[in-house]
Chain A
Amino acid sequence: MTDVQKPGRLMIDRATKPHLPRYLKLRHDAGRDRWVLLAPERILTPDNTAVAVLQLCDGERTVDDIAAKLASEYSAPADVIAADVVDLLQDLADKGYIKG
């Protein structure tokens, strides 16, 4: 019916097309000069790397696409980045903050 429900744990792999559920808000917190991810009863403060990943989670790109884009921007090996991105997104998915 919507992206909020469908019980079942999402397992992230390199083909997953991750997106933020629409009830999360990634917002720059100007007063404190940081990024925040606003969630029900939670405020997360992603670091710069995590923000770069989250901004690419549009439901169109796969994890591999995201890793490739970051690899070209940061001149780092895509395989290493992809593994880190999978770890990051799995942790967030287990908290309900990433859907695929």
Chain B
Amino acid sequence: MTEDLKIDGHVDGIAVDDEPTAGVIGNEDEAAELCALAPVGLLAELTHRCPLQCPYCSNPVELESVKNELTTEEWCSVMRQAGEMGILQIHLSGGEPTARKDLEEIVKAAADAGLYTNLITAAVNLKRDRLETLQKLGLDHVQISFQDVDPAGADRIGAYPGALQKKLEVARWVTGLGMPLTINAPIHRHNIHNVPRYIDMAVELGAQRLEVAHAQYYGWAFLNRAALIPTYEETVASIEYVEAARERLKGVLTIDMVVPDYYAKRPKPCMGGWGKGFMNITPAGKVLPCHAAESIPELHFDNVRDRKLVDIWMNSDAFNAFRGTDWMKEPCKSCAFREVDFGGCRCQAMAITKDPRNTDPACSLSPYHAEMVKLAKQEAARPATEFVYRNPRNAAQAGKAHGEPLVPAE
């Protein structure tokens, strides 16, 4: 997934943007001021329809139905507004974005608005002539997810027969057309041993970038944690392998890694800070500070059908709920890292502790941390449970069940 704006250090003469926005300070009417405060990235979930059923899908458990999807003109308006407010990159995702028959029009509107366009696709239904058309209309970059490097594993994880061969074919079209390619490798206990082969595959395909994306346990992946979470030892070994490969493949392949925060001491700065540099739009037009934010029941989300995008960004309750540090409780409130990691992930705090204002339990300072890690390690040590596949039937089923919160440490 692409929820993180990737941050580098500095190199000579060229600084990487690690302060995409200056933070939002109340109402401001002047256009240039607005622009300077705008997010740099926008994730557009064009649809929740998808031919695959991956059990770690980043979509919410409650899937949006096709009849509520934004129209072509509504998406094109979003693209124009995004360009005007100073957004620089648009990630066209889903579900499967190519399931929208009007993807061409949306890509064109985004390119015309000056946005850097990124298509995040499962690729199994993408035809070569359609890819060529999208490129001509201004598509800048393609990201393809690979569920595994073994055909049988890929079939089972995505519940789609023959996916791997089809994805390899599309990946070769992408590089053959001279477009940059990112391989997304969602990592969990069933494929963590294949991290070295993912790297070899990315090099062989001529990919520019590989995302080694350890599953993040919210939404579907949270439901499937006992089926997915690898052991601590497997995780550490895979991270060490990636770090060595990065050095070996300098100038050949960029490898980004999203590490599993359960086994970290410090939480990740989720979204680079709530409402700071990134926004997400659901298929039905709801504007979210992150793709999982709907898991926080107290939040109300505004819709692009009712309000201008820039107004939602600046003034909506959901974006201001956890902006900055005023909302924090202890131990975040007095923590020296509060403006480094922003207390971690609000959705994980919600999922584990039932209070989105609590410290992310991935943080070792959270009173829930020890219990959460203990449970995860127990799950990883036991045989994997069956997958709860991501599909409308399981979504309806899962919506009825509510887990109990963990008990914090004394």
Instruction: Give the distance in Å from the alpha carbon of A44 to the alpha carbon of B15 in the complex.
Output: 7
Q: Does A76 make an interface contact (CB < 8 A)?
A: no
Chain A residues whose CB sits within 8 angstroms of the CB of B379 once the complex forms: none
- Are A32 and B86 touching (Cβ within 8 A)? yes
Q: Which of A7, A9, A43, A84 has most B Cβ within 10 Å?
A: A43
Select one of B12, B34, B175 contacting A84, CB under 8 A.
B12
Among residues of B, the one whose C-beta sits closest to the C-beta of A32 is: B36
Q: Hey, which chain A residues are within 8 Å of B118, CB to CB?
A: 40-41
A63 is an interface residue with CB less than 8 A from chain B: no
Chain B residues in contact with chain A, CB under 8 A?
2, 5-6, 8, 11-17, 20, 31-32, 34-36, 38, 40, 85-86, 88-89, 114, 116, 118, 140-141, 143, 175-182, 203, 206, 208-209, 250-254, 256
A2 within 8 A of B: yes
Residues 15-57 of A, flagged 1 when their CB comes within 8 A of B and 0 if not, give: 0000001110101011111001110111111110110010000
The CA-CA distance from A46 to B5 in the complex, in Å, is 17
**Contact among A30, A87, A96 with B251 in the assembled complex (CB-CB below 8 Å):** A96
By beta carbon, the residue of chain B nearest A40 is B141
Task: List 11 additional A-B contacts (Cβ < 8 Å) besides A4-B179, A23-B179.
Answer: A2-B175, A4-B180, A9-B251, A32-B36, A38-B89, A38-B116, A43-B89, A45-B16, A50-B13, A96-B209, A96-B252
22 cross-chain CB contacts under 8 A: A1-B206, A2-B178, A3-B178, A4-B180, A4-B208, A10-B251, A25-B116, A29-B86, A31-B34, A31-B38, A31-B86, A32-B86, A33-B32, A38-B140, A40-B140, A41-B5, A44-B15, A47-B14, A87-B13, A88-B13, A96-B252, A96-B253
Q: Is the Cβ of B203 less than 8 Å from the Cβ of A45?
A: no
- Interface size (A, Cβ < 8 Å)? 43
Q: Which residues of B contact A43 (CB under 8 A)?
A: 5, 17, 20, 40, 88-89
Given A8-B252, A25-B140, A40 and B86 contact (CB-CB distance below 8 Å): no
CB-contacts of A51-84 with B (<8 A): 53, 84
Question: Which of B2, B14, B177, B252 has the largest number of chain A CB atoms within 10 A?
Answer: B14
A21 to chain B: which residues have CB within 8 Å? 180
Q: Is the CB of B251 within 8 A of A42?
A: no
- Is B14 a contact of A88 with CB atoms below 8 Å? yes
Q: Which of B16, B116, B256 has the most CB of A within 10 A?
A: B116
Contacts of A33 in B (CB 8 A): 32
